[in-house]
Structure 1
Amino acid sequence: MEKKEKIVVGISIGDLNGIGIEVILKTFEDKRMLDFCTPVLFGSTKTVSYHKKQLNSEVNIHGIMSINQLTHGKVNLLNIWKEEVPIEFGKSTKIAGEYALKSLEAATQCLKDQTIDLLLTAPINKENIQSEEFAFAGHTEYLESKLKGESLMILMSDSLRVGLITGHIPVSEVANHINHQLIEQKVNLMHKSLVEDFGISKPKIAVLGLNPHCGDKGVIGKEDDEIVRPSIAQIKETGKLVFGPYAADGFFGSDTYQQFDGILAMYHDQGLAPFKAISFGNGVNFTAGLSEVRCSPDHGTAYEIAGKNKANETSFKEALFSGIEIFKKRSEYKKLVRNRLAVK
């Protein structure tokens, strides 16, 4: 491998029948992107060439057989497989899921080995990727099993960062998972990420209530009064600027969210539905709390437009820039901490 000059961004190509490869190619149609990073796709030149032909893409792809052959100033593609893989745009197939996993596994291994600096993941289909090797609800849970640390899913844009106290679980099970230990864990993860990954020294964090109107003093549920409020009060005693609980509807409807650096929602759709209403198309999914940096766009495989050259690459491009910025902030923080320790 050449002497490292730029941040190396590893990219898993996602479901082969979706829009993942399309948004990757469209992102690097602008050659100026190579001024910010050195990308390396994990897949196959045959597979990517098939997509290029379908999309009339002229992006120059530099095929390599080893990560040590990576070349700065080019869009590298590390060949993980050599065989032809059938592409059926817009269809969920078992084989597309199998090869999406091959790409993700190889990219994750390089992330662990630190031969890439950060990981950018194109969308997968959570159903067809399931196997003995991948028995997870999504990227977040898979990466938590492979890397050090505890994960916190954060959906972010320029003006909004929403984390989840519970992740990919059925709504019927949410209340049973909410407890003081979990709330404290997620607040601590959010606080740590805001300080280390975003450079905010004294972050303000809002916590949303579980029930409508935060339970209306027990009329619509007791969890907010018996679990959430006492947990927030106890966390405040540690010096963290944490506030709530807030009723989710009024919180977003009144723009109160703009007063906070980070927001923790109790469950998936409580946080992600308003986030996507406000920021869809420009949002980024960031997996905080882990030893390495991973980002992804805020959309899925979009089978309905796959292969039609209609996909918008904005969210993927935002994920790329966000990952680079987070990697830089985290590196700066680590350097600052080392210098402080050295002075002591």
Structure 2
Amino acid sequence: MKKAENIIVGISIGDLNGIGSEVILKTFEDTRMLEFCTPVIFANVKILSFIKKNLNSEAALHGIDRIDQLVKGKINVLNVWKEGVDINFGQNDDVVGKYAIKSFVAATAALKEGLVDVLVTAPINKYNIQSEDFKFPGHTDYLDQELEGNALMFMIQDNLRVGLLTDHIPVTDVAKHLTEKLIIQKIETINKSLKQDFNITKPKIAVLGLNPHAGDNGVIGNEEEKIIRPTIKKLFDKGIFAFGPYSADGFFGSGQYEKYDAVIASYHDQGLIPFKTLSFGAGVNYTAGLNKIRTSPDHGTAYEIAGKGIADFNSFKEAVYLAIDIYNSRNEYEVLVKNPLKTKEKQL
């Protein structure tokens, strides 16, 4: 198993006109972070130095042209491009969007090739990243294509873990996407993630209903009775401890979520509104279900405060910590699965 400082954290720069660069620099200004990992920022050292100067950051950047030139104990910046880019904080800019994707695609390639151990992505603007070469709604959909497995949006803050059956689709389309196949796939993905990524031996998963009051036994919609409840029973009979469907309106406010290792919501806002309310800016977006590890902060580009030096970097820092923790957990899980008797003897 790698020592802490040998864990290489690849970082995509995100939208250069947003707060991504600021939260990255603030995270690694604290040199103690370099005891936990070796960061490699996929960007351009001259541009990041310009942003650093604008923010009066004390982060010491080390520019490299190849990833094998990285230095432990340094904030490495891999030059993905050489040319200059005009930075206008707070502005939506299609050119800047193209560089955000250049960074992300290069970082993903390095992750696939094992040149970095984990990937942490700074926020992008979903509108200015679109092009003939990149036609994805965001990071997760591209990673789902490039990496093995089935991507699932999993929001994490300590013991609060919220997954989604459907994510970036219109609310009007949610019901028709809720099939038995999808529900089984997503719950199995969460169950596996809880075991291998969070060291939970027998996970308990709560499933929220789609309709108000979880359908009230078919009075307010029938998706719960026709699809969700029978699928949960099928999974339970297979040995996956899934429970529900529960009425979503009081589930978080009553503290009921604390009885479970994860909660899975039917659609984006059903899960993310309570999550972001409870996580107080320390939440992390983790892409579960893939053969590689990717995390990101739970916020966007925040154009309205970009370049002002006032961005809260806590969520990004937590994203780095979580990526490292999951990397270590997966290594331990692999050892346990491959050598269960040996691991048990070691514990004794």
TM over 0.5: yes
Give the aligned partner of residue 218 of structure 2.
218
Using the alignment, how far apart are the partners of 2:4 and 2:200 within structure 1? 29
2:82 is the alignment partner of 1:82 = yes
Instruction: Judge conservation of contact 2:93–2:128 (CA < 8 Å) in 1.
Output: yes
User: Structure 2 CA distance, aligned partners of 1:126 and 1:41?
Assistant: 20
Tell me by how many angstroms 1:340 deviates. 3.9
Amino acid at match of 2:186: K
| Residue 197 (1) aligns with residue 207 (2) | no
1:253 Cα deviation from its structure 2 partner: 1.4
5 Å-filtered alignment, 1:312-327, equals: 312-327=312-327
What aligned pairs does 1:48-59 form with structure 2 within 5 A after superposition? 48-59=48-59
1:165 counterpart residue number: 165
Confirm or deny that 1:252 pairs with 2:252. Answer: yes
Distance 1:131 1:215, change over 3 A: same
- Aligned partner of 2:306 in structure 1 is 306
CA distance in structure 1 between the aligned counterparts of 2:318 and 2:183, rounded to whole angstroms: 29
Q: CA deviation at 1:217?
A: 1.6
Kept after mapping to 2: 8 A contact 1:28/1:75: yes
Whether 2:269 is the aligned partner of 1:273: answer no
Deviation at 1:136, TM superposition (A): 1.3
Residue 280 of structure 1 contacts residue 298 of structure 1 at CA under 8 Å; is this kept in 2?
no
Cα distance in 1 for partners of 2:280, 2:93 equals: 27
Q: Deviations over 1:4-60 (max 9, x none)?
A: 951000000100100000000000111000000000000001210111111011210
Quote the Cα distance in structure 1 between the aligned partners of 2:340 and 2:97: 47
The aligned runs of 1:18-57 (5 Å cut-off) are 18-57=18-57
- Number of the residue aligned with 1:73: 73
Match of 1:136 in 2: 136
Give the CA deviation at 1:323.
0.5
Amino acid at match of 1:249: D
- Mapped pair 1:284 → 2:284: yes
The answer to whether the Cα contact below 8 Å between 2:118 and 2:292 also exists between their aligned partners in 1 is: yes
Match of residue 16 from structure 1: 16
State the alpha-carbon separation in 2 of the partners of residues 79 and 280 from structure 1. Answer: 34
CA contact (8 A) 2:183 2:231 kept: yes
Letter in structure 2 aligned against 1:95? V
Report the residue type matching 1:140 in the other structure: T
Counterpart Cα distance in 1 of 2:247 and 2:151: 25
Inter-partner Cα distance in structure 2 for 1:341 and 1:136: 44
Task: Give the deviation of 1:341 after TM superposition.
Answer: 9.3
- 2:236 maps to which residue? 236
Give me the CA root mean square deviation.
1.4
Instruction: Tell me how far apart the structure 2 counterparts of residues 17 and 209 of structure 1 sit (CA, whole Å).
Output: 39
Q: Is the 8 A contact 2:10 2:119 kept in 1?
A: yes
Distance 2:170 2:135 in 1: 16
Say whether the 8 Å CA contact 1:209–1:246 is kept in structure 2: yes
- Counterpart of 1:261? 261
Q: Distance in 2 between matches of 1:342 and 1:36?
A: 28
In the other structure, the counterpart of 2:346 is none
- The amino acid across from 1:316 in the alignment is F
Cα deviation per residue 1:128-152 (whole Å; 9 max; x = unaligned)?
0011222112111111111111011
Alignment pair present for 1:337 and 2:337: yes
**What TM-score do the two structures reach when normalised by structure 1?**
0.97
In 2, Cα distance between the equivalents of 1:94 and 1:167? Answer: 25
Amino acid at match of 2:253: G
Pairs within 5 Å for 1:90-109: 90-109=90-109
Paired amino acid for 1:216: D
Describe the superposition over 1:183-219 as per-residue Cα deviations: whole angstroms up to 9, x where unpaired.
1111100000000000000000000001000111222
Distance 2:91 2:80 in 1: 23
Structure 1 residues without counterparts, runs of 5 or longer: none
**AA aligned opposite 1:302:** A
The CA deviation at 1:159 is 2.6
CA contact (8 A) 2:156 2:286 kept: yes
How far did residue 71 of structure 1 move? 0.8
Structure 2 Cα separation of the partners of residues 133 and 286 of structure 1 = 25
Letter in 2 for 1:151: A
SS of the residue corresponding to residue 253 of structure 1 reads coil
Query: Which amino acid letter does the alignment assign opposite residue 47 of structure 2?
Result: T
| TM-score of the pair, normalised by structure 2 | 0.96
Looking at structure 2, the residues matched to 67 and 31 of structure 1 have their Cα atoms a distance apart, in angstroms, of 21
Separation in structure 1 between the aligned mates of residue 137 and residue 98 of structure 2, nearest angstrom = 16
The Cα offsets for residues 36-88 of structure 1, whole Å up to 9 and x where unpaired, read as 00000000012101111110112100000000101111100000111110001
Give 1:167's aligned amino acid: D
Question: Equivalent residue for 2:148?
Answer: 148
Secondary structure of the equivalent of 1:76? strand
State the distance in 1 between where 2:52 and 2:235 align.
Answer: 52
